[in-house]
Structure 1
Amino acid sequence: MSALSPQDAASATAPGFGNSLDYVTIRVGDQLLGLPIGRVQDVFIANRITVVPRAPDEIVGLLNLRGRIVTAICLRRRLGRSVTLAPDAQGLIELTAIGIDHGGESYALIVDAVGEVVRLDRSTLEPLPVHLDRVWAALATGVHRLADELLVVLDLDAVLDLDLDTAA
């Protein structure tokens, strides 16, 4: 399932939208997070993941997405949260994933839930709060105060920049 039509992706960077920022919203636990819309390629359910021995904890495994080998990364683990996976009645574990390309590689960012696409005024983007957890602060670029909650904007380059040299 594709998250965006080509027209939606083009309008995110089209002239006339210079004062707005567009995000695909996701949830990890109760926290609302925003992913820059221009970086999101797919939203899909992943249920056939091959575990990679000795991979870092954040890497759930590998999956085949329309003929591409994709590295699945658990955003919950990346943000330092605990993970509990419960199989459905058939014994399958279905995970909600966001397809992202980074450095010429394909990734599936495993999230708790996908929300909607939001357009926010650029002027409402604020710096990170000083009391934000240091792990979260290293993976975020700013926040937007919404009517009833805080939207933390993730830096996808930082999220996907796993230090694989120390994983061996």
Structure 2
Amino acid sequence: MEEKSYKEYLEHITTFIFDVDGVLTDGSVTVTTSGELLRVMNVKDGYALKTAINAGFNMAIISGGTHEGVRIRLEGLGISDVYLGAHNKIDQLNDYLRKHDVKAENILFMGDDIPDYPVMKHIGFPCCPQDAVPEIKAISKYVSHKKGGYGAVRDVIEQVLKVQGKWNGYYDATL
């Protein structure tokens, strides 16, 4: 039986779910003298998140991190389902599935490390940044050529929207 191209899965994606640290950021934190942990997010990833929401896709974040600044940034982009402090991410995934009546096979989840593994085994399109750990790369249907925090989120969103003809209102197969 012939293996499906990863792009064939993209036609059926209705929902994007992303981890934060190592996916929307490069996984680094800057610790201030007051103990605050600062993260950097890529604005091109932000543009893609907002574009996908505007195109009618469901969007959620499931992260073990607890920094409220992350929630403020993501909610500012229009993401209302932001699960922080998620140490057993499958619980948040199941809550999201029940809340939105979404099928697991229509979900793209991008993670980068071991805490993402159970969710990635449960959904239709697991993917990861180029610098994810080997265990996550091994179960991913797509490994982005971009590193976490450096456009990996934009990469997968743009591909899905282009395959579905929803990237800025057109799909150009030559891109």
Q: TM-score, normalised by structure 2?
A: 0.25
- When you count helix as a share of all residues, which structure comes out higher? 2
- When you count strand as a share of all residues, which structure comes out higher? 1
Q: TM-score, normalised by structure 1?
A: 0.26
